[in-house]
Protein backbone atom coordinates (compact mmCIF):
# COMPACT_ATOMS: atom_id res chain seq x y z
CA UNK A 1 0.00 0.00 0.00
CA UNK A 2 2.83 2.41 0.85
CA UNK A 3 4.41 1.89 -2.60
CA UNK A 4 1.06 2.53 -4.31
CA UNK A 5 0.55 5.69 -2.27
CA UNK A 6 4.06 6.87 -3.08
CA UNK A 7 3.49 6.30 -6.80
CA UNK A 8 0.19 8.20 -6.73
CA UNK A 9 1.80 11.05 -4.84
CA UNK A 10 4.62 11.18 -7.38
CA UNK A 11 2.16 11.33 -10.27
CA UNK A 12 0.25 14.15 -8.56
CA UNK A 13 3.49 16.07 -7.95
CA UNK A 14 4.56 15.63 -11.58
CA UNK A 15 1.11 16.76 -12.75
CA UNK A 16 1.28 19.88 -10.57
CA UNK A 17 4.79 20.66 -11.81
CA UNK A 18 3.70 20.23 -15.45
CA UNK A 19 0.63 22.40 -14.89
CA UNK A 20 2.73 25.10 -13.21
CA UNK A 21 5.23 25.01 -16.08
CA UNK A 22 2.43 25.28 -18.63
CA UNK A 23 0.89 28.23 -16.79
CA UNK A 24 4.30 29.89 -16.50
CA UNK A 25 4.89 29.57 -20.26
CA UNK A 26 1.40 30.91 -21.02
CA UNK A 27 1.84 33.83 -18.65
CA UNK A 28 5.27 34.56 -20.10
CA UNK A 29 3.86 34.53 -23.64
CA UNK A 30 1.01 36.85 -22.71
CA UNK A 31 3.41 39.15 -20.90
CA UNK A 32 5.61 39.34 -24.01
CA UNK A 33 2.57 40.17 -26.15
CA UNK A 34 1.54 42.93 -23.74
CA UNK A 35 5.08 44.30 -23.60
CA UNK A 36 5.33 44.34 -27.41
CA UNK A 37 1.89 45.90 -27.74
CA UNK A 38 2.76 48.60 -25.21
CA UNK A 39 6.05 49.26 -27.00
CA UNK A 40 4.29 49.62 -30.36
CA UNK A 41 1.70 51.97 -28.85
CA UNK A 42 4.44 54.11 -27.32
CA UNK A 43 6.31 54.26 -30.62
CA UNK A 44 3.13 55.21 -32.48
CA UNK A 45 2.31 57.88 -29.90
CA UNK A 46 5.80 59.37 -30.25
CA UNK A 47 5.46 59.40 -34.05
CA UNK A 48 2.11 61.16 -33.58
CA UNK A 49 3.69 63.82 -31.38
CA UNK A 50 6.30 64.36 -34.10
CA UNK A 51 3.34 65.00 -36.41
CA UNK A 52 2.14 67.72 -34.07
CA UNK A 53 5.68 69.12 -34.07
CA UNK A 54 5.52 69.34 -37.88
CA UNK A 55 2.23 71.19 -37.52
CA UNK A 56 3.82 73.65 -35.10
CA UNK A 57 6.66 74.27 -37.57
CA UNK A 58 4.15 74.86 -40.36
CA UNK A 59 2.32 77.40 -38.21
CA UNK A 60 5.55 79.28 -37.60
CA UNK A 61 6.38 79.28 -41.31
CA UNK A 62 2.96 80.75 -42.16
CA UNK A 63 3.15 83.36 -39.40
CA UNK A 64 6.64 84.41 -40.52
CA UNK A 65 5.41 84.64 -44.12
CA UNK A 66 2.63 87.01 -43.10
CA UNK A 67 5.00 89.06 -40.96
CA UNK A 68 7.36 89.47 -43.91
CA UNK A 69 4.53 90.42 -46.29
CA UNK A 70 0.85 90.21 -45.42
CA UNK A 71 -0.32 91.47 -48.82
CA UNK A 72 0.96 88.74 -51.12
CA UNK A 73 1.33 84.95 -50.98
CA UNK A 74 3.56 83.36 -53.62
CA UNK A 75 5.64 80.25 -54.27
CA UNK A 76 9.01 81.74 -53.27
CA UNK A 77 8.04 82.16 -49.64
CA UNK A 78 9.15 79.91 -46.78
CA UNK A 79 5.89 77.96 -46.57
CA UNK A 80 6.16 76.81 -50.20
CA UNK A 81 9.47 74.99 -49.94
CA UNK A 82 9.81 71.48 -51.32
CA UNK A 83 9.18 68.63 -48.91
CA UNK A 84 12.26 67.92 -46.83
CA UNK A 85 13.01 65.23 -44.25
CA UNK A 86 14.58 66.21 -40.94
CA UNK A 87 16.17 63.72 -38.54
CA UNK A 88 14.95 63.81 -34.94
CA UNK A 89 15.66 61.66 -31.91
CA UNK A 90 14.78 58.12 -32.96
CA UNK A 91 12.97 59.08 -36.16
CA UNK A 92 12.24 61.62 -38.90
CA UNK A 93 9.83 64.46 -39.68
CA UNK A 94 8.81 65.58 -43.18
CA UNK A 95 6.03 67.79 -44.40
CA UNK A 96 4.65 69.74 -47.33
CA UNK A 97 2.41 72.83 -47.18
CA UNK A 98 0.07 73.64 -50.05
CA UNK A 99 -2.18 76.63 -50.67
CA UNK A 100 -5.87 75.68 -50.63
CA UNK A 101 -6.59 78.84 -52.60
CA UNK A 102 -4.36 77.60 -55.39
CA UNK A 103 -7.07 75.10 -56.37
CA UNK A 104 -10.82 75.06 -56.92
CA UNK A 105 -12.72 74.85 -53.63
CA UNK A 106 -15.65 72.55 -54.41
CA UNK A 107 -17.55 73.87 -51.41
CA UNK A 108 -18.00 77.04 -53.44
CA UNK A 109 -20.90 75.14 -55.04
CA UNK A 110 -22.79 75.99 -51.85
CA UNK A 111 -22.44 79.75 -52.43
CA UNK A 112 -25.63 81.66 -53.14
CA UNK A 113 -25.97 82.99 -56.71
CA UNK A 114 -25.32 86.72 -56.78
CA UNK A 115 -28.84 87.52 -57.96
CA UNK A 116 -30.30 85.22 -55.28
CA UNK A 117 -32.56 83.44 -57.77
CA UNK A 118 -33.26 79.79 -56.94
CA UNK A 119 -33.05 78.74 -60.59
CA UNK A 120 -29.55 80.16 -61.01
CA UNK A 121 -26.32 78.36 -60.19
CA UNK A 122 -23.18 79.66 -58.43
CA UNK A 123 -20.38 80.94 -60.64
CA UNK A 124 -18.15 77.99 -59.77
CA UNK A 125 -20.61 75.71 -61.60
CA UNK A 126 -19.57 77.14 -64.97
CA UNK A 127 -15.87 77.06 -64.07
CA UNK A 128 -16.17 73.39 -63.09
CA UNK A 129 -17.85 72.56 -66.39
CA UNK A 130 -15.08 74.31 -68.32
CA UNK A 131 -12.44 72.47 -66.25
CA UNK A 132 -14.03 69.13 -67.14
CA UNK A 133 -14.02 70.19 -70.77
CA UNK A 134 -10.30 71.11 -70.63
CA UNK A 135 -9.41 67.79 -69.01
CA UNK A 136 -11.46 65.92 -71.61
CA UNK A 137 -9.55 67.71 -74.38
CA UNK A 138 -6.22 66.66 -72.88
CA UNK A 139 -7.20 63.02 -72.34
CA UNK A 140 -10.72 61.71 -72.71
CA UNK A 141 -12.39 61.60 -69.33
CA UNK A 142 -13.53 58.12 -68.23
CA UNK A 143 -17.08 59.24 -67.49
CA UNK A 144 -20.31 57.33 -67.79
CA UNK A 145 -22.37 60.52 -67.44
CA UNK A 146 -22.17 63.82 -69.26
CA UNK A 147 -20.19 66.75 -67.87
CA UNK A 148 -23.45 68.58 -67.17
CA UNK A 149 -24.64 65.61 -65.14
CA UNK A 150 -21.46 65.65 -63.05
CA UNK A 151 -21.72 69.37 -62.31
CA UNK A 152 -25.45 69.27 -61.54
CA UNK A 153 -25.11 66.15 -59.36
CA UNK A 154 -22.36 67.85 -57.36
CA UNK A 155 -24.49 70.96 -56.93
CA UNK A 156 -27.52 68.89 -55.84
CA UNK A 157 -25.37 67.06 -53.29
CA UNK A 158 -24.07 70.27 -51.69
CA UNK A 159 -26.94 72.75 -51.96
CA UNK A 160 -29.48 73.24 -49.19
CA UNK A 161 -32.62 72.31 -51.09
CA UNK A 162 -34.09 69.05 -52.42
CA UNK A 163 -34.89 70.47 -55.86
CA UNK A 164 -33.34 68.35 -58.56
CA UNK A 165 -31.32 70.15 -61.24
CA UNK A 166 -32.02 69.29 -64.90
CA UNK A 167 -29.10 66.83 -65.05
CA UNK A 168 -28.58 66.32 -61.31
CA UNK A 169 -29.51 63.78 -58.65
CA UNK A 170 -31.35 64.16 -55.37
CA UNK A 171 -32.46 61.77 -52.64
CA UNK A 172 -34.70 59.62 -54.88
CA UNK A 173 -31.60 58.66 -56.89
CA UNK A 174 -29.58 57.57 -53.86
CA UNK A 175 -32.45 55.99 -51.91
CA UNK A 176 -33.12 53.63 -54.80
CA UNK A 177 -29.64 52.11 -54.66
CA UNK A 178 -28.82 48.69 -53.22
CA UNK A 179 -27.40 50.41 -50.15
CA UNK A 180 -29.56 53.55 -49.84
CA UNK A 181 -28.35 56.85 -48.40
CA UNK A 182 -29.33 60.52 -48.34
CA UNK A 183 -27.74 63.52 -50.00
CA UNK A 184 -25.57 65.62 -47.70
CA UNK A 185 -27.15 69.01 -48.51
CA UNK A 186 -24.13 70.41 -46.73
CA UNK A 187 -20.47 71.26 -47.25
CA UNK A 188 -18.19 68.49 -48.47
CA UNK A 189 -15.99 67.14 -45.67
CA UNK A 190 -13.28 65.69 -47.92
CA UNK A 191 -12.45 64.94 -51.53
CA UNK A 192 -13.28 61.26 -50.91
CA UNK A 193 -16.94 62.23 -50.48
CA UNK A 194 -17.09 62.81 -54.24
CA UNK A 195 -17.15 59.03 -54.68
CA UNK A 196 -20.63 58.91 -53.16
CA UNK A 197 -22.02 61.34 -55.76
CA UNK A 198 -23.60 60.12 -58.98
CA UNK A 199 -21.10 59.86 -61.84
CA UNK A 200 -17.93 60.43 -59.80
CA UNK A 201 -16.11 57.16 -60.25
CA UNK A 202 -12.57 56.71 -58.82
CA UNK A 203 -10.92 57.53 -62.17
CA UNK A 204 -12.76 60.85 -62.42
CA UNK A 205 -11.83 61.75 -58.85
CA UNK A 206 -8.19 60.90 -59.55
CA UNK A 207 -8.14 63.16 -62.63
CA UNK A 208 -9.66 66.03 -60.65
CA UNK A 209 -7.31 65.81 -57.67
CA UNK A 210 -4.59 68.19 -58.94
CA UNK A 211 -7.15 70.93 -59.58
CA UNK A 212 -9.74 70.75 -56.81
CA UNK A 213 -9.72 70.83 -53.02
CA UNK A 214 -11.96 71.25 -49.99
CA UNK A 215 -11.95 74.21 -47.60
CA UNK A 216 -13.95 72.91 -44.61
CA UNK A 217 -17.16 74.80 -43.95
CA UNK A 218 -16.39 77.58 -46.43
CA UNK A 219 -17.92 78.48 -49.81
CA UNK A 220 -14.94 80.72 -50.62
CA UNK A 221 -14.38 81.12 -54.35
CA UNK A 222 -11.07 82.98 -54.52
CA UNK A 223 -8.12 81.63 -56.50
CA UNK A 224 -4.63 82.90 -55.75
CA UNK A 225 -3.10 83.42 -59.18
CA UNK A 226 0.38 83.47 -57.60
CA UNK A 227 0.19 79.88 -56.38
CA UNK A 228 -1.43 78.12 -59.34
CA UNK A 229 1.21 75.64 -60.51
CA UNK A 230 2.25 75.20 -64.17
CA UNK A 231 0.68 71.73 -64.13
CA UNK A 232 -2.61 73.37 -63.14
CA UNK A 233 -2.84 75.46 -66.31
CA UNK A 234 -6.17 73.82 -67.17
CA UNK A 235 -7.67 75.35 -64.02
CA UNK A 236 -6.53 78.85 -64.95
CA UNK A 237 -7.83 78.26 -68.48
CA UNK A 238 -11.24 77.33 -67.04
CA UNK A 239 -11.26 80.42 -64.82
CA UNK A 240 -10.35 82.73 -67.71
CA UNK A 241 -12.47 80.83 -70.23
CA UNK A 242 -9.52 80.55 -72.58
CA UNK A 243 -7.38 77.75 -73.99
CA UNK A 244 -4.83 75.85 -71.91
CA UNK A 245 -1.92 77.06 -74.04
CA UNK A 246 -2.72 80.69 -73.25
CA UNK A 247 -3.07 79.87 -69.55
CA UNK A 248 0.29 78.11 -69.67
CA UNK A 249 1.88 81.20 -71.19
CA UNK A 250 0.42 83.46 -68.48
CA UNK A 251 1.82 81.22 -65.74
CA UNK A 252 5.22 80.83 -67.40
CA UNK A 253 5.62 84.61 -67.69
CA UNK A 254 4.64 85.21 -64.08
CA UNK A 255 7.42 86.76 -61.99
CA UNK A 256 9.03 84.37 -59.47
CA UNK A 257 7.43 86.33 -56.64
CA UNK A 258 4.11 86.57 -58.43
CA UNK A 259 1.93 89.56 -59.08
CA UNK A 260 1.97 92.22 -56.37
CA UNK A 261 -1.09 93.95 -57.84
CA UNK A 262 -4.17 92.05 -58.94
CA UNK A 263 -4.88 94.69 -61.57
CA UNK A 264 -1.52 93.88 -63.18
CA UNK A 265 -2.55 90.21 -63.39
CA UNK A 266 -5.85 91.17 -65.00
CA UNK A 267 -4.03 93.38 -67.49
CA UNK A 268 -1.61 90.58 -68.38
CA UNK A 269 -4.43 88.03 -68.62
CA UNK A 270 -6.53 90.33 -70.81
CA UNK A 271 -3.61 90.91 -73.11
CA UNK A 272 -2.79 87.20 -73.50
CA UNK A 273 -6.33 85.80 -73.61
CA UNK A 274 -8.16 88.58 -75.40
CA UNK A 275 -10.74 88.58 -72.62
CA UNK A 276 -11.91 91.56 -70.63
CA UNK A 277 -11.64 90.77 -66.96
CA UNK A 278 -13.36 93.27 -64.73
CA UNK A 279 -11.98 94.76 -61.55
CA UNK A 280 -14.93 93.29 -59.66
CA UNK A 281 -14.01 89.72 -60.70
CA UNK A 282 -13.49 88.68 -57.10
CA UNK A 283 -12.42 85.12 -57.81
CA UNK A 284 -8.88 86.29 -58.60
CA UNK A 285 -6.65 87.23 -55.65
CA UNK A 286 -2.94 87.44 -54.81
CA UNK A 287 -3.24 86.54 -51.12
CA UNK A 288 -4.31 83.41 -49.24
CA UNK A 289 -5.64 82.44 -45.83
CA UNK A 290 -6.20 78.69 -46.16
CA UNK A 291 -3.40 76.13 -46.27
CA UNK A 292 -2.94 72.39 -45.92
CA UNK A 293 -0.06 70.50 -44.32
CA UNK A 294 0.67 66.85 -45.07
CA UNK A 295 3.12 65.59 -42.44
CA UNK A 296 4.84 62.20 -42.47
CA UNK A 297 6.80 61.09 -39.41
CA UNK A 298 8.60 58.00 -38.18
CA UNK A 299 9.79 56.77 -34.81
CA UNK A 300 11.54 53.42 -34.47
CA UNK A 301 9.39 51.08 -36.60
CA UNK A 302 6.23 53.25 -36.46
CA UNK A 303 5.04 55.52 -39.25
CA UNK A 304 2.45 58.27 -38.93
CA UNK A 305 0.67 60.56 -41.39
CA UNK A 306 -1.37 63.63 -40.56
CA UNK A 307 -3.17 66.10 -42.83
CA UNK A 308 -3.98 69.46 -41.24
CA UNK A 309 -6.14 72.21 -42.73
CA UNK A 310 -5.17 75.62 -41.40
CA UNK A 311 -6.37 79.19 -41.60
CA UNK A 312 -4.15 82.17 -40.87
CA UNK A 313 -5.68 85.50 -39.98
CA UNK A 314 -4.24 88.40 -38.02
CA UNK A 315 -0.98 86.43 -37.62
CA UNK A 316 -2.80 83.64 -35.80
CA UNK A 317 -3.13 80.14 -37.19
CA UNK A 318 -6.19 78.04 -36.38
CA UNK A 319 -6.62 74.34 -37.18
CA UNK A 320 -9.85 73.74 -39.10
CA UNK A 321 -9.51 69.99 -39.52
CA UNK A 322 -7.11 67.11 -38.97
CA UNK A 323 -7.00 63.73 -40.62
CA UNK A 324 -4.85 60.90 -39.33
CA UNK A 325 -3.42 58.27 -41.65
CA UNK A 326 -4.40 57.33 -45.19
CA UNK A 327 -3.95 59.48 -48.25
CA UNK A 328 -5.19 63.03 -48.72
CA UNK A 329 -7.59 61.90 -51.41
CA UNK A 330 -9.14 59.07 -49.40
Q: What is the pLDDT of residues 257-278, one digit of tens each?
A: 999 999 999 999 999 888 777 7
Q: Which pLDDT score is estimated for 22?
A: 76
What gap in Å lies between CA 146 and CA 169, rounded to an integer? 13
Residue 81 sits at the vertex; the CA angle it makes with 77 and 85, to the nearest 5 degrees, is 150
Give the residues across from 87 on adjacent strands: 92
Q: Which pLDDT score is estimated for 329?
A: 46
What gap in Å lies between CA 222 and CA 215, rounded to an integer? 11
How many beta carbons lie within 10 A of that of residue 58, not counting itself?
Answer: 22
Which domains can be identified in the chain, with CATH numbers?
2-100+289-324 (3.30.1300.30), 106-211 (1.10.40.60)
In order of 66, 152, 310, the CA distances from 314 in angstroms are 9, 37, 13
Q: Which pLDDT score is estimated for 330?
A: 45
What gap in Å lies between CA 201 and CA 203, rounded to an integer? 6
Long-range contacts of 80-84 (CB under 8 A, 24+ apart): 80/227
Residues of the chain with pLDDT under 70: 1-7, 10, 34-38, 114-119, 279-280, 327-330
Q: Which pLDDT score is estimated for 328?
A: 40
Question: Max alpha carbon distance in the chain (Å)?
Answer: 117
Give the residues across from 303 on adjacent strands: 298
Q: Which pLDDT score is estimated for 226?
A: 97
Amino acid sequence: MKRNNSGAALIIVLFVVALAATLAVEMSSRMMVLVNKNSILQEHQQAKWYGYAAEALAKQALIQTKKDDDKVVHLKQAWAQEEATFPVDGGTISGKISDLQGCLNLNAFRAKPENGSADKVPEVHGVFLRLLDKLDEEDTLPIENSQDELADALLDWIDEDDNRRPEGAEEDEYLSREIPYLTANHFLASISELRTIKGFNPLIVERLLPYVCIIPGSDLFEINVNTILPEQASLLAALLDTDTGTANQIISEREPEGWTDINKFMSDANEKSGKKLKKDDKQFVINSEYFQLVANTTFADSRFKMTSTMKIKDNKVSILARKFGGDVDE
